[in-house]
Amino acid sequence: MKIVLPGDEILDRPIHMENTFVENNKTYTAVLAMLHDDKLIPLEGLWYPKVGDKVVGRVEEDKFSIYEIDLNGPYSGLLISKFVKSPLLVGDIIEATVKEIDRYNTIILYKSRKLYGGKLISVKPSKIPRIIGRNNTMLKQLIEGTKCNISVGANGYIWIKGNNIHLAIKAITKIAKEAHTGGLTNRISDMLGVKNGETTTNS
């Protein structure tokens, strides 16, 4: 494993993939990343929307037949009003799924659900996979350890609701900062007082 920086060659052949670029038939990383064998694991990176991504967003504008959704990036999400169960207001927070991306980079959303109350925080999208964890393990223990409702968007927005919101934010911040390190699941479970997916009693 080594850390590679923008402009470092990672392959001596051209492979087009996210967070890289090709020049003179070689592949270079475009972001700060870890390179393990031939796998590039971005340490910092933006969200490149894909159909099926689950996102969290905030209603930015109500244009009568469509809602424009702030998705923490340069491109807005669009929700068609008639497919939304109950009307939304500007400022409402929703989770939804990416249905398609049009040629203007507008992100068409569907399967939306309004998230009532709570707080919206934002982390770098490259940290999201670690916040969810393999088979949802990290997210599950976050929810169990804090008793919060948490909805995580691939776009880097996270919605949290519950009494332990500060603990949840602290844990999420720690995961984001240490996303690239080993043993993190255990450190977070220690922090939250969770063992093997079960809450331990403090004595």
Partner 1 sequence: MEKPQLIVNGLRLDGRKPDELRPIKIETDIIKNASGSAYMEWGNNKVIAAVYGPKEALPKHTGDPEKAIIKCVYSMTPFSSLEEHGRSGPNRRAIEISKVTKEVFENIILVENFPRSEIDIFIEILQADGGTRAAGITAAAVALATSGIPMRDIPYAVSAGRVGDTVIIDLNKLEDNYSDADMPVAIAPRNNEILLMQMDGGLTREQFKKALEMIKNAGKVITKIQREAIKKPYEDLINKYGAKYE
Residues at the interface with partner 1 (CB under 8 A) = 1, 3, 5-7, 19, 21, 23, 28, 30-32, 34, 36, 39, 41-46, 73-76, 104-105, 124-126, 129-130, 134, 177-184, 187
Which lies closer to partner 1 via its Cβ, residue 42 or residue 153? 42
N-to-C CA span, the chain? 41
The total number of residues written for the chain in this structure: 203
CA angle (95 as vertex; 127, 145 as ends), nearest 5: 55
Residue type, 91: G
Q: How far apart are CA 24 and CA 14, in angstroms?
A: 8
Alpha-carbon distance values, 108 to 96, 97, 132 (Å): 10, 9, 23
Residue type, 97: T
Distance of CA 133 to the CA centre of its chain: 11
Smallest separation, CB 39 to partner 1 (Å): 7
Greatest Cα pair distance, the chain, in angstroms, is 63
Which lies closer to partner 1 via its Cβ, residue 3 or residue 15? 3
Alpha-carbon distance values, 190 to 44, 78, 98, 170 (Å): 26, 40, 35, 13
